[in-house]
Amino acid sequence: MKLLVKAPAKINLSLDVLGKREDGYHEVEMVMTTIDLADRLELTEISEDYVGILSRNRFVPADERNLAYQAARLLKERYQINKGVEISINKIIPVAAGLAGGSSDAAATLRGLNELWDLGLTLDELAELGAEIGSDVSFCVYGGTALAKGRGEKVTKLPAPPACWVVLAKPAIGVSTSEIYRSLDVSSIRHPHTTEMIQALENNDYEGVCENMANALESVTLHMYPEVLHIKKQMERFGADAVLMSGSGPTVFGLVRHDSRLQRIYNGLRGFCDQVFAVRMLGM
């Protein structure tokens, strides 16, 4: 039996870091939304007690480092499943990009195997399992738009952002999230206005969303990787309504309402950046 599952990327409309926790993670407050840029997973049930990962992308690990692998193993062990699964990942979301590609693959695997193995788990139960795998997995289980707190596992649904285009550009580098957090001085960061961002979403206020987009990790990543700052400046120069780095980077995204301006920004970025995408928000 086979099942196809979509694993959409996310962007951070707002990302605040409140401090270091006793467990070594950081306390965060993030407003996230899913976008129409997605990996596609094919789950094939097999009789052997085995989890296999297949991908043509050489940057996708095929072992226990892969979060989709971890999700399948967790379900197998927690619910004593004695059959296996082959997970074929068609990787569209750039790797190590700040777009939660690996986390979304894990979430899609949890949702898909819940159906394939007829486990009958609720989304809340799947999100709880997801929190054991990684900080963004719980949000990715739900998708849509949400406020994520704690280390990212406490998820509260929010209204969808106003309709607009999202242009994304990823430079030819990868960024280590743990390295960025290690380099962060929480006492010196400018904290985003999370409450105002939530109010803008509740009021369907596009200008308010643009004005309150902020990422507390930007100062670290932009300092360590000047190419990320260059992309941000170019996207602003080409006329995006608001520009921000997603997650710990290095992907930068801009919001755009007008189709004519979208084409200019997209073409301008393609002049010096290989991985450029123009997509819609999924929102709900």
Residues sharing a CB contact under 8 Å with residue 163, sequence separation 6 or more, in sequence order: 280, 281, 283
Q: Are 50 and 16 in contact (CB under 8 A)?
A: no
Active site residue 10: yes
The per-residue b/e assignment along 91-102, b for 16 or more CB within 10 angstroms, e otherwise, is bbbbebbbbbbb
Catalytic-labelled residue, pool 16, 105, 136, 241: 136
Residues in the chain: 284
Active site residue 136: yes
Q: Are 273 and 231 in contact (CB under 8 A)?
A: yes
Distance of CA 45 to the CA centre of its chain: 27
Q: Are 71 and 103 in contact (CB under 8 A)?
A: no
CA atoms of 196 and 203, how far apart (whole Å): 10
Positions marked catalytic: 10, 136
